């Protein structure tokens, strides 16, 4: 099944093919910088993919072959972030975008090539898995712009980068060597530019072919532990318990006995 839908004046494109969702930051003239309209549309786009479009996994990427995202589109700041009042509105949309990625019902894979700065870095940090190619460059320049990085995005950085590297990145505003991000575990893998798409799609296919309820329970449990959220942990336990009576569990057992590939339906 194929479905697609555009958001934020075609600056955010969402599509699915056979259970693999694609969410593309589509603003190449600005190195895929995220406009206010795009921040506001992110929750709807992810809800569409994980719901109506039936995605079992979502791949987040930047349009074109050069950049993931330069972060928030600062060309808008004189209007949308000109004072404390407008900044609060802007930052609420910012936070909702990060939360949509972090809280997506299905796993989100960030496929990073080229520039991954500021808010783009934050979106990648909110994703479940991050893969980058050899061209990827990472930086959080908020301190050099006179801005504070959103607190919820800092949480994602702490989880992904670790305490010391997160502090260094935020305090200095200097680029972080990708090899250091790989060694720290922020990146799942770093591959040649020509291999990124194939590597990401292979991982996405492996996830999409597994039992959706099992994957969702695992994602919720990981989030609950990372965030120290007892309510999320209880929700993960409920979903986990429901797998025992699911059709997918019966299918998994039958497929194992028959030595064939299981066909999971999410029920």
What pLDDT shows up at residue 112? 98
Tokens of 139: 């930086």
What pLDDT shows up at residue 148? 86
Judged by DSSP in three states, 61 sits in strand
CATH code for residues 2-208: 3.90.226.10
Contact 34, 68 (CB under 8 A): no
**145 pLDDT higher than 90:** no
Q: What is the DSSP letter of 19?
A: T
Average pLDDT over residues 197-201: 97
Average pLDDT over residues 45-74: 96
**pLDDT tens column, 71-104:** 999 999 899 888 889 989 999 999 999 999 999 9
| Spatial separation of the C-alpha atoms in residues 266 and 199, rounded to whole Å | 25
Which H or E run contains 58?
strand 57-62
Domain boundaries, the chain: 2-208, 212-258
CA dihedral 218, 69, 163, 228 (to 10 degrees): -30
Query: Residues of the chain with pLDDT > 90: what percent?
Result: 79
DSSP 191-248: E-GGGHHHHHHHHHHHHHTS-HHHHHHHHHHHHHHHHT-HHHHHHHHHHHHHGGGSHH
Distances from the Cα of 115 to the Cα of 31, 33, 90, 188, angstroms = 8, 10, 22, 18
C-beta neighbour count of 64 within 10 angstroms: 16
| Spatial separation of the C-alpha atoms in residues 266 and 60, rounded to whole Å | 22
**pLDDT tens column, 164-183:** 999 999 999 999 999 999 99
Average pLDDT over residues 31-56: 97
Average pLDDT over residues 53-73: 96
Average pLDDT over residues 214-223: 93
**137 pLDDT higher than 90:** yes
Average pLDDT over residues 231-246: 89
């Amino acid at each position: 099944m194929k479905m697609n839908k555009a958001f934020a004046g075609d600056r955010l494109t969402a599509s699915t093919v056979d259970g693999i969702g694609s969410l593309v930051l589509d603003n190449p003239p600005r190195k895929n910088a995220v406009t206010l309209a795009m921040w506001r549309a992110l929750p709807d786009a992810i809800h569409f993919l994980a719901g109506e479009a039936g995605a079992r996994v979502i791949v987040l990427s930047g349009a074109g072959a050069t950049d993931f995202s330069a972060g928030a589109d600062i060309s808008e700041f004189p209007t949308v972030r000109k004072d404390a009042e407008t900044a609060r509105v802007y930052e609420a949309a910012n936070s909702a975008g990060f939360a949509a990625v972090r809280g997506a019902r299905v796993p989100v894979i960030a496929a990073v090539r080229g520039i991954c700065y500021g808010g783009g870095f934050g979106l990648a940090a909110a994703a479940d898995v991050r893969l980058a190619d050899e061209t990827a460059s990472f930086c959080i320049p908020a301190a050099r712009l006179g801005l504070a990085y959103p607190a919820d995005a800092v949480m994602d950085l702490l989880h992904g980068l670790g305490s010391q590297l997160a502090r260094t990145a935020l305090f200095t505003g200097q680029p972080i060597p990708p090899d250091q991000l790989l060694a720290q575990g922020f990146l799942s893998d770093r591959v040649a530019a020509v291999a990124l798409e194939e590597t990401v799609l292979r991982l996405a296919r492996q996830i999409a072919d597994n039992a959706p309820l099992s994957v969702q329970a695992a994602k919720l449990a990981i989030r609950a532990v990372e965030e120290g959220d007892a309510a999320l942990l209880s929700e993960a336990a409920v979903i986990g318990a429901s797998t025992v009576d699911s059709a997918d569990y019966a299918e998994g057992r039958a497929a194992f006995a028959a030595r064939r590939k299981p066909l999971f339906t999410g029920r």
